[in-house]
Structure formats: structure tokens, C-alpha cells
Amino acid sequence: MKQFIQGIIDNNQYQATHLLQILRQIQSHYHYIPEDAIGQLASLLSIPRTQIIGVVEFYSFFHLSPRGQYELLISDSITDHMLGSKDLLAYLAGKLGVAVGEVSADGLVSLDKTSCTGMCDQGPAGLVNGHALTHLDRAACDKIAELVKQQKPLEQWPGELFQVDDNILKSGLLLNQPLEQGAALRTVFRRGIKETLAEINQSGLRGRGGAGFKTASKWQFCAEEAETQRYVVCNADEGEPGTFKDRVLLNTYADQVFEGMTVCAAIIGAKQGFVYLRGEYLHLYDKLQNMLAQRRQNGLLGNDILGEGLDFDIEICLGAGAYICGEESALIESLEGKAGIPRNRPPYPVTQGYLGKPTVVNNVETFMAAAAIAVNGGDWFARIGTEKSNGSKILSISGDCARPGIYEYPFGTTIQTILNDCGAENVQGVQVGGPSGTFISNQEFGRKLAFEDLATGGSFIIFNTSRNILDMVHNFAHFFAHESCGFCTPCRVGTSLLQKQLDKIVEGHGSAGDVVALEELCQLVKNYSHCGLGQTAANPILTTLERYPDLYQNKLKEISYEPGFDLDAALETARRMANRDDAGAHLAQIEVNEHE
């Protein structure tokens, strides 16, 4: 082991900022992070062992105790549930002979659930040793169980298990005209750096991650900083359940995304860029590395790009299973090899980002759009869309529709148009922008895709009338509790309390006052949380409570108070100790009214 770890550390130049990448390799080799490895890393990287353990225990894909040689994870996204993943998980557990959350006795296989893997258009989906599995069904599970039993190396598993399709079903402004390699950079050098920033400003481009900050302003603020060491970061930690458009953009339009990053580097004066790629997209890693190598060969990355004196290169860093790292300051912490805990702001990343230096963080789609704007000009982009939302938006459409996949629309398009295009019928409602976004009912399909109406990072999940909305809310509440980083009290405790309070109501233990208490708690978590995760974690409850109050009220019992715990179950230990199970050893949850 010593030699193996020494090799990894050598390859990573003893950089503690590479801790996540180092731990990924160790986890992948040993299927956990062994105690001896922690000690060795601490001494080689000159960091306290507590820092390493802190990182291991923060990220879902790292473990202090061994997982199976085949680590199987099934996506717990609501979109996968809708495709039957719950039954499939139980089936797979039976086939493999291992309980969910456990490792088989022989250490061969482990099985668990994981947050949305970004394959909502081709689920039920999962991961095996980090590699994406799609279109899972019982036949595929049988095959997987057999391959595991035979201990077949992953390289020998049939390719169709790992088949990932783009499913681009509607192209617009950006997807219709992919750029030729180098076109944007050549235009920038011909037109001038300042002039290009002016074009991006003119385009009105706003951040595509969902928050919608004006891209040109962000780049300009960064460029104006006194500190000259600056960084460009591409946020490819697409973790919002129901979104998968960045997966497609990086599979098919990556060159244009890299070009957008390089344009940004030219404008802000950065020498180093990073793509923070979510761990679930490991399948894209080699392809992206090859593309970077090709760009270097073609003089589009590295020293003296296109002979114009620009030095810039891009490194790809993989995440390790933490939704919070989509938050830009948490992403930067993660890039620095730490737990993804959002920073206090100010200072903002444009003034103090990666290693405390000015940093631009933008979404994949933003860089792709910026490259196109650099070539086609600001007006080309600005003539499309609405007054406050210029250009187009790329959507990831999943859930109850005939044709899930990638759709690009001009801002201002109505929800009804989108539903018609993807073949959605008997629609009850749509979750726009993922769990952190808004649920709209079928009375609101005239609403528009736009920052001023329905803002979205791209997630668009459709629910037909056969679905129980509370199942969705329940799934999202558990998602946020699972993904809360735990830094601040309102989110750490609040998301768990929301989950408990919602479960109480959904499971039929709620009584008068419980819905009011739920709503109060929602407001507390929303108003006091440290970052966007906590501030939006209550949205699924709030937006559905607003639209379907009866759905919640109907679950309540007609008594004034229902204890939050099971009285009878609480007596179980006492019964076991007293060795009795007669009627007298049991308690009713509430006093039974004899007149009823």
C-alpha cells in the first residue's frame, strides 16, 4: 500500500489541494480509505489527519469502512422512482443477496442508494464503481448479478449497460450551430479583448446555473481586481435532481465549453482554469482529457495560444458525491481539497475565490453561450428571448412524457409549448428548476421560462395525474436533509426537522396544528440558512402547500394532538426485558374515545 500511495502523491506533486483526486484513486483501488493510508497521506501532504477524515466523511463516495469490490449505487431521484427504481432496487438486492446499505459477507458487492445521477431521461440509473449504468430493468439486474458472481472485471461488462445517449430532441440558438474549434478565440484576438467583453455585455447573457448574475459584470469585476493571479472555474457539478443538460453539453459540445473558458481567461487575465466535474460523470473524464490534449496540440491551450501571447490551461477535477458543491464557494473549497462548505460572503469569489485569488465561476452552459457570443456578437444573442432574459435556455426534460431529453428554447416560451413538444399528457404539474425550484400546477401552464417568471438551471420534471405529489415532496425533503452540509444550524437541524415533520404528516400521524408547524419551520429554514441549499430546501413543501393545501390537511387525524413518536414502539425494550407481551404491556397511541 505504501508504494501505491506514494505513487499517487508523486503524481499529484504533493499538493493538498488535490486531496479529493487522491482519495478518489485510493477509494477506487481499495474500495475504502484504509487507516494506514490516512496516516501516510497526513505525513506526505503535511496536513492533520483530521482534515483527511473530515473530507472522507463529507463526501458520499468516500468510505472509512470497506465497500464491495463492486460498489453498486442506484439513483434515488424522483425521476428514477417514477421509472420503477424502488422495485428494481429490491429486486437487485434479492439477486445479489445483499441488503440495501450493506456489504455482502464475502466483501464482493455492496448496494446502496445515491442522489440523482443525472440520467433522468434514461433511468432507472445507477453507478458501478463510479461508472454510470442506464436503462436498468430486471434483465439488466440479472446480468449484473451474474457478472458480479463471476467476478468479471468492469472492462468486460457488456457496453450496453453503460450506454449513455444525448437525446437532443430540440435544438435552438446554441445547439443548432456548434462552433468550429478555435473560431471564438480567433474572433476575440481579431476584434480585441475589451471589445469582446462589450459584446458579451451587449448580449445580456446571465448565468445559466439558475441564479442569473450578469456574466459580463462578473468577468469585469474579476478583471478589475488588483491581484493578478486569477482563475476560471467551470461548474460542471450538475447535481440538481432532474438536470442532465451539462452531461450532454460536455459529451458533444465540450470543445465549445473549453473555448468559452479560454475566452474568459483572455478577458480576465487568468492562466489556470478548472472544470469541476461531478463524480457521477466519471464516464466523461477520459473523453474530456483527450479533448484538452487535442486543444493543446492545436495551439488552443497552453503557452502562447494562437501565437497571441495568451497562456492558459485547464485541469479537470472530479467531485465525490456532494450536491452542495454546486454552490460556487463550496465548489471552490472542494477544488482546494476540502469539505464543500459554503464560505461567508463577502468576500465573493470574484475578489477572493480559489486559494483566495479572484475567480470567475460559471456554469457549463454559460461558457458555451459566451463562446458563441464571442463569434456571433451580442446582438445575435440579445434579439432572442424576453426583456430581462436574453437568448435561449437548454432544458433537461424528464418524468411523465413520451420524449424525455434535451430541449433548447428561447426565453419567454410557455410551459404549455414545452409540454406539447415533449409529448406530455394528463399533466398534473411540473417541477421547474428541480427540488430547489418551483412546483407549478396545471392551472399555470401559460407561465413563461424566464428569470422574471420561472427561472431554472434546466431541470424540468413532469408529473401526470396518476402521481401522488406528496411522494415527490417526501423524496425532495429527504434529498435536502441528506445533502445539507451541516455548517449552519437552521439548515443542518432544520432540513432534518422538515423531513421528520413531513413524514409525520404523510404517514398519517399528523394532527391539527401540524401543517401550521410545518409551514413555520419552512420559513425559518428559508430565512436563516447560510446558503442557497437551505434557503431553497423548503420550496417543495411551500410551493405545493400553497397550491394543494387540502393534500396536506386530508392527511391529518381529527384529534388535537398526536405525539411525534410511537408510544407503543417505545415500550418494546421494556417488554423484551420484562419478557411479556400481554395486552397490559401495550399502549394505544391516543386514548380511544368510547363514543366513536
Partner 1 sequence: MSKTITIDGKIIPFEDGQTIMDAAMAAGVYIPHLCHQPEFTPHGSCKLCTVNVNGRNCSACTFPALEGQDILNETEELIEDRKKITQMLFVEGNHFCPSCEKTGNCQLQAVAYHLNMLDNHFPLFYPDREVDASHAEVMIDHNRCIFCTLCVRASHEKDGKDVFAISGRGIHKHLIVNAKSGLLKDTDIDASDQAVHICPTGALLVKRTGYQVPIGERIYDHKQIDQVALAASGSRPVAALPPSMAVGTENIKHGE
Neighbours of 151 (CB within 10 A): 10
In Å, how far are 417, 428, 530 from 466, measured between CA atoms? 22, 8, 37
Member of 32, 58, 258, 281 binding partner 1 (CB under 8 A): 58
Question: Peptide bond before 349: cis, by omega within 30 degrees of 0?
Answer: no
Among 211, 470, 493, 512, binds partner 1 (CB under 8 A): 493
DSSP string, 321-337: S-GGGGSHHHHHHHHTT
Candidates 75-83, 95-103, 248-256, 492-500: pick the segment binding partner 1 (CB under 8 A). 492-500
**Binds partner 1 (CB under 8 A): choice among 490, 510, 532, 540:** 490
- Kindly tell me which residue out of 237, 453, 483, 519 binds partner 1, with binding defined by CB under 8 A: 483
Q: In angstroms, what is the minimal distance from the CB of 38 to partner 1?
A: 8
48 binds partner 1 (CB under 8 A): yes
Would you say 221 and 230 are in contact if contact means Cβ atoms under 8 Å apart? no
Q: What type of residue is 179? A: L
Cβ proximity to partner 1: between 179 and 485 the closer is 485
Binding mask of the shown chain, residues 303 to 342, with x at each position contacting partner 1 by CB under 8 A: -------------------x----------------x---
Output the smallest distance, CB 394 to partner 1, in A. Answer: 30
281 Cβ neighbours under 8 A, 6+ residues apart: 118, 132, 236, 238, 247, 250
Close Cβ partners of 311 (under 8 Å, ≥ 6 residues apart): 271, 302, 303, 304, 305
Please give the grid coordinates belonging to residue 360: 470567475
The stretch near partner 1 (CB under 8 A) out of 106-114, 145-153, 432-440, 483-491 is: 483-491
- Our finding on whether 508 is near partner 1 (CB under 8 A) is no
Q: Which of 564, 567, 581, 586 binds partner 1 (CB under 8 A)?
A: 564
Single out the residue of 403, 447, 492, 555 in contact with partner 1 (rule: CB under 8 A): 492
Q: If binding is defined by CB under 8 A, does position 300 make contact with partner 1?
A: no
Could you say whether residue 488 binds partner 1 (CB under 8 A)? yes
211 sits near partner 1 (criterion: CB under 8 A): no
Q: How many residues bind partner 1 (CB under 8 A)?
A: 39
Q: Applying CB under 8 A, does 528 fall inside the site for partner 1?
A: yes
Does residue 57 interact with partner 1 by CB under 8 A?
A: yes
Map the footprint of partner 1 across residues 339-378, applying CB under 8 A: 339, 344, 346
Between 280 and 483, name the residue whose CB sits nearer to partner 1: 483
Q: Which residues contact 306 (CB under 8 A, 6 or more apart)?
A: 182, 185, 186, 189, 299, 300
- Which residue, chain included where needed, has cell 468577468? 219
Q: Does 101 bind partner 1 (CB under 8 A)?
A: no
Tally of CA atoms within 13 A in the half-sphere of 4 that contains its CB:
13
Beta bridge partner(s), residue 231:
272, 359
Question: Which of these ranges, 54-62, 137-145, 222-230, 240-248, lies near partner 1 under the rule CB under 8 A?
Answer: 54-62
| Residue 51 binding partner 1, by CB under 8 A | yes
Q: Contacts with partner 1 in 177-196 (CB under 8 A)?
A: none
Position 531 contacts partner 1 (CB under 8 A): no
Residue 477 Cβ, how far from partner 1 at the closest point, in Å? 13
At which residue does the C-alpha cell 417568471 appear?
Answer: 453
Give yes or no for a contact between 233 and 361, defined as CB atoms under 8 angstroms apart. Answer: yes
User: Helix H segments across 97-192?
Assistant: 138-149, 183-191
C-alpha cell at 485: 452540509
Residue 580 in 3-state DSSP?
coil
Say whether residue 213 binds partner 1 (CB under 8 A): no
Cβ-based neighbours of 258, under 8 Å, separated by 6 or more:
291, 292, 295, 300, 301, 314, 367
**Candidate segments 240-248, 280-288, 358-366, 525-533, binder of partner 1 by CB under 8 A:** 525-533
Query: Which of 481, 505, 541, 545: binder of partner 1 (CB under 8 A)?
Result: 481
Give the bridge partners for 235, in sequence order.
Answer: 276, 363
Question: Is the Cα torsion angle 321, 324, 328, 333 positive or negative in sign?
Answer: negative
CA distance 283 to 286: 7
In this structure, the number of other CB atoms found within 10 A of the CB of residue 445 comes to 18
Sheet holding 427-432, edge to edge: 168-170, 405-410, 392-399, 459-464, 427-432, 438-441
> Which is nearer to partner 1, 66 or 178 (by Cβ)?
66
Question: Whole-number minimum distance, CB 322 to partner 1, in Å?
Answer: 7
434 is a contact residue toward partner 1 (CB under 8 A): no
Q: Which one of 351, 438, 484, 544 is in contact with partner 1 (CB under 8 A)?
A: 484
* Local structure of 151: helix, strand or coil: coil
The reply to whether 482 sits near partner 1 by the rule CB under 8 A is: yes
Nearest approach, Cβ of 488 to partner 1 (angstroms)?
5
Among 203-211, 306-314, 354-362, 522-530, the segment contacting partner 1 (CB under 8 A): 522-530
Q: Which is nearer to partner 1, 35 or 224 (CB)?
A: 35
Residue in 49, 131, 191, 271 binding partner 1, rule: CB under 8 A:
49
Name the residues that contact partner 1, by CB under 8 A: 35, 39, 48-51, 53-54, 57-59, 322, 339, 344, 346, 481-490, 492-497, 500, 524, 527-530, 564-565
